[in-house]
Amino acid sequence: MSPPLPLTLRLISIGTTVLAALVVFASWFSLMEAFSSIDASGINQAVEQQEPIFSKLYKEESQAFALALTSSLEARQSGLNDMRNLRILTLLGLSICATSLFMSGWRLLMMEPFSRPRIARTLSKTALACAIFRTLDGAQSAALARRSGAAFDFSAAFKAHFPQGMETTLLVFSVTFTFSIVVFFLWVWRYFQAPKTLALLETPPPS
């Protein structure tokens, strides 16, 4: 069994590996959404299935909320249709890069010390690629969130007394979420290409 990494490096490698796995899962989930094509009847059917929940939460305004939600989902699907090809290419690139990052992080934890500096350089480059593709994914997600939120706000303003601001809420959440992940990927890129980190990996473990 290979000797363990120093504690700090081990924790960073584990965190990177876990995040990469989550990004792979999320990108494949988004890919399924991008490949699917739901028409208006499918959206209406999905909303109608949640009608009992809306009735408990909004009582007499449940139908108005369902109409606003339907408008929101239709706007999101319309936006997805407009960018489908680019969305699929972006998510495929992200899933490939994130899978490679996951494998690099796993190998860094498991491989012998003499191969770890080479793996760390690969991990660093892959983290940069993940940051680029995740930025593109985030821009697309923010555009869909803004379009969906705007449709909800417009519909709710005329059909019920719901508070406005869904567009801003979804947009801020999407941008903040993307920013957090991209910053972490960029930090991993810089950290694992730093001479200090490579020197630490090249140092033989104490016997």
Each residue of 154-176: pLDDT tens digit?
776 655 556 567 788 889 999 99
pTM of the model as a whole:
0.84
Give the count of domains, the chain: 1
Residue 148 counted as domain residue: yes
Per-residue CA distances from 190 to 44, 111, 121, 124, 173 (Å) = 47, 22, 10, 7, 26
Per-residue CA distances from 133 to 77, 84, 88, 121, 138 (Å) = 22, 16, 12, 19, 8
**Alpha carbon 19 to chain centroid, angstroms:** 10
Residue-wise pLDDT for 13-46, tens only, equals: 999 999 999 999 999 999 988 888 766 566 666 6
Domain enclosing residue 195, as ranges: 7-202
- The rounded distance, in Å, linking the Cα atoms of 105 and 109 is 6
Burial tier of 4 (Cβ tally within 10 Å: 0-12, 13-18, 19+): exposed
Residue 1 counted as domain residue: no
Residue 30 counted as domain residue: yes
Residue 78 counted as domain residue: yes
Residue 12 counted as domain residue: yes
